[in-house]
Amino acid sequence: MAPTVAPGLASGLATCLVFCLCWGLSCSSEPPPRSILLITVDTLRADHLGIYGYPRSTSPNIDRWFADAAIFERSYSTEARTPQSVTSILSGRLPQEHRVRKYWQLVPDEIRLIPDLLPEAHQKAAFVSNAVLVDKAIGIADRFEHYDEDFDRSGPDGRNTGERDARATTDAVLRWLREERDPDRPFFVWIHYMDPHIPYRPPEEWSAAFSHDEPALVPRSRFSLGMFGKEVDGPPVDARDFVDAYDAEIAFMDHEIGRLLDTWAELESLDDSLMLLTADHGEALMEYEMYFGHGYQVYESIIHVPLLVRGPGVRSARHPGLTSGIDVLPTVLAFAGGASPEELPGIDLSGPAAIPPERIVYAETTFAKNTWRTAIRAMDKWMLRIAREGDIAEWRHYDLAADVGEEAPRPWSAGASGGDRLLELLAKDPDRAGPARIAAPGGVTGPNEIAPRVSEEELETLRALGYVGD
Ligand SMILES: [Zn+2]
């Protein structure tokens, strides 16, 4: 089927064609820097968005704004937790290269991020809404001219939820657009929305957006950390209520993303900008060993995320090839006129280059005493469990075509390309045994630089988000 190009992209495409041809002929004139909007969403499964086929109306605004996008159908997180994955998105590097592997760990100064690599001309702003992305926790505010982390972290019942909701996040971006945006400069704006993360607590007016008929009563012990705290001995609960609430959080956030983009487009044209939407990781809902959580494993629901790219020159199509969070940086820099470090393994997804069918993508996560690592190639998925001592404690191989739920691992076959590459990657990992246990008040020990200022209150926030046990 011939590719289609949205009418709204036609003028931008024409501009791009000039520059693309110019580049091909080695013209001396550089293309002018162009604007980029990067939206990352916490805990957003690809398959709960309409644009990825979800039957519930969770995302009419995202679907509308990205209807003409390049839609990457199989994009993966590099890590199943926020700081690690976000650092990969911003640096184009796998966790074992950027070495941010736990919470409250500063990104090393030598790890260059998108804002460091963009031309000086760009006005660079970030808006984060997760407590583990505040500057004190991750240390990247100085890479931006404006780093907005000013949010009230207390929930409606006074509990510290560690998140800013989508309405306040959109308000913060619009305030910046009206008061601080320099229209004579291109922009790089990164916005991290948090809403789909636990606790699933949409605003009152959204709380009844979705409902179900048959309940699914499940023991509380089946739920992830942070859902019930120590109250796991209570009566079973209807797990489908939690799916409804998760979807309502997405719908509320989608409404706010729509409000943001519609208002932005009134203030300033977005037609010539590159817009990307992805997630740091997904979420297990009523699946696998632990319901409603993410950082404990690398199953498909946990690491399969949306990746949507739209802008002038970007071909509107659905791409079935494998992509990764590490592709965001080369995509942004190729579009914006920055220099992408040559050693980076990611792919520019805004260009015409096809995704190689033999491509392998990698993901990992550390939970309790184990690190899980995976390599995915086509429909083959290899998985390793690494014990704290650094030894391989478990080997799994899944055929995702035959075993969608990852319920029946097969024997690991020697010589398999993805499995061998995963072992090679592991052999080169400077933190093979995984990071030391999560920060304690006053500092932690570990292989990397750790922000040494985790207070009791901040630890309580991490507990509320399910990030840390007792
Ligand atoms: Zn996250």
Q: 304: closest CA among 222, 405, 211?
A: 405
- Distance between Cα 419 and ligand 1 center (Å): 27
Backbone phi and psi for residue 419, each to the nearest 5 degrees, phi listed first: -65, -45
- Distance between Cα 26 and ligand 1 center (Å): 42
CA Rg value for the chain: 21
| Max CA pair span of the chain | 71
C-alpha distances in angstroms, 284 versus 80, 289, 398? 11, 9, 18
The token duo for 383 is 């998985």
- Distance between Cα 81 and ligand 1 center (Å): 5
In the numeric block, the tokens 């009563």 are attached to: 217
Q: What is the pLDDT along the chain (470 residues), one digit of tens a residue?
A: 333 434 444 444 444 444 444 333 334 345 567 999 999 999 999 999 999 999 999 999 999 999 999 999 999 999 999 999 999 999 999 999 998 887 878 899 999 999 999 999 999 999 999 988 999 889 999 999 999 998 766 665 665 678 899 999 999 999 999 999 999 999 999 999 999 999 899 999 999 999 999 999 999 989 986 778 777 888 999 999 999 999 999 999 999 999 999 999 999 999 999 999 999 999 999 999 889 999 889 999 999 999 999 999 999 999 999 999 999 999 999 999 877 888 899 999 987 778 999 999 999 998 777 889 999 999 999 999 998 788 999 999 999 999 999 999 998 877 778 999 999 999 999 888 766 554 444 433 333 334 455 677 777 777 677 666 44
The token duo for 300 is 């498909």
- Distance between Cα 14 and ligand 1 center (Å): 38
In the numeric block, the tokens 């704004």 are attached to: 65
CB 135 within 8 A of CB 225: no
The token duo for 99 is 């070495």
- Distance between Cα 33 and ligand 1 center (Å): 30
The token duo for 210 is 């979705």
Distance between first and last Cα of the chain: 55
- Distance between Cα 4 and ligand 1 center (Å): 34
The reported pLDDT for the residue numbered 84 is 95
Q: 41: closest CA among 64, 70, 75?
A: 75
Separation between Cα atoms, residue 463 and residue 450, nearest integer Å: 18
- Distance between Cα 279 and ligand 1 center (Å): 8
The reported pLDDT for the residue numbered 22 is 37
The reported pLDDT for the residue numbered 453 is 59
Run of H or E residues at 20: helix 10-24
Residues in the chain: 470
Separation between Cα atoms, residue 111 and residue 109, nearest integer Å: 5
The conformational region for residue 442 under phi > 0 = left, psi -120 to 50 = alpha, else beta, is: left
- Distance between Cα 281 and ligand 1 center (Å): 6
Q: Which domains does the chain have, with CATH numbers?
A: 7-356 (3.40.720.10), 368-435 (no CATH)
- Distance between Cα 351 and ligand 1 center (Å): 28
- Distance between Cα 277 and ligand 1 center (Å): 14
The reported pLDDT for the residue numbered 159 is 59
The reported pLDDT for the residue numbered 441 is 45
Strands ordered across the beta sheet of 304-310: 146-148, 123-127, 187-193, 36-41, 274-279, 304-310, 70-76, 317-324
Run of H or E residues at 135: helix 135-138
